[in-house]
Amino acid sequence: MAGFLSKLKSGNATMRGPMVKDQFPFRDEDDPRVLYVLSERARRISLKVKNSEREVHVVVPGVRALSKAKQFAREQRDWIDVQLESLPPPMPFRPGEYILFQGQEYQLISPPGKGRPKISRSRQKIIVPSPDAESFPGRVRRLLIREAREELTAASHYYAEKLDKRVGKVSVRDQSSRWGSCITRNGEGHISYSWRLICAPPEILEYVAAHECAHLVHDDHSKAFWDVCHSIYDDVKNATKWLNKNGAKLHAIGAEF
């Protein structure tokens, strides 16, 4: 990891002269895991651990407080290290590395030549031809998004039909704050999911789809909502427990540090 952090640091421009609002947020020159975020509403300097982004935000209450914020971050370096090093190890998109796919460890392979990326379930390998190392991570991510969209679209329609509801659009993106979200427009559900669900066991992906489809009936988390959720998915309790326990591991997939 040290080599990668050094590479990131060398790519960060050194901040010279007085800072202005438009330059926020920016990463610490000595540790790219630390991000300085400007907040005019904040009344004091504070640190916030962002587990899903695998970084720490230094909340700066106004541009003039930046020097004190940097000093505060330096003084809290040991605390920052402890918080971030307690996260699951990163699973970068690099040839030869292992990542989770549908709850199992799959090895990333970059064969020479051209060809379409594919997944060998019998060999537990994700095979992604790539002309160079720089384009490999993006190709892996796009493959996972494609697989996630296919599985989540099918699951969404399945659970919506159980409720006699319609799903008009399914989106898959890199959501950091939630695994899914649902809104209803013109009588149809528009559901957005995190692509990382394709890395979880299939039953977890199914649960999140059922959860979001239950929002087609109730747009809150009332008892009535949970009754609907339980009516279309058998093991809500264990699925939510799995996500609470392993969510940080899913966010480690594709992370470099």
CA dist list (Å): 14 to 9, 27, 30:
9, 10, 10
Task: Give residue-wise pLDDT tens across range 13-40.
Answer: 445 556 778 889 899 988 888 999 999 8
CA dist list (Å): 13 to 10, 27, 64:
8, 10, 20
Task: Give residue-wise pLDDT tens across range 182-233.
Answer: 999 888 999 999 999 999 999 999 999 999 999 999 999 999 999 999 999 9
For the chain, the structural domain boundaries read 2-85, 98-136, 142-251
Torsion over CA of 162, 164, 166 and 172, rounded to 10 degrees?
-20
Q: Contact at 8 Å (CB) between 55 and 35? A: yes
* Structure confidence at residue 17 (pLDDT): 54
CA–CA distance, 154 with 18 (Å, rounded to integer): 53
Average pLDDT for the chain:
91
30 against 60, higher pLDDT: 60
| CATH class as words, domain 142-251 | alpha beta
Is the pLDDT assigned to residue 11 strictly greater than 80? Answer: no
* Structure confidence at residue 153 (pLDDT): 98
Is the pLDDT assigned to residue 120 strictly greater than 90? Answer: yes
CA–CA distance, 61 with 40 (Å, rounded to integer): 5
Residue 40's nearest CA partner among 29, 24, 26 is: 24
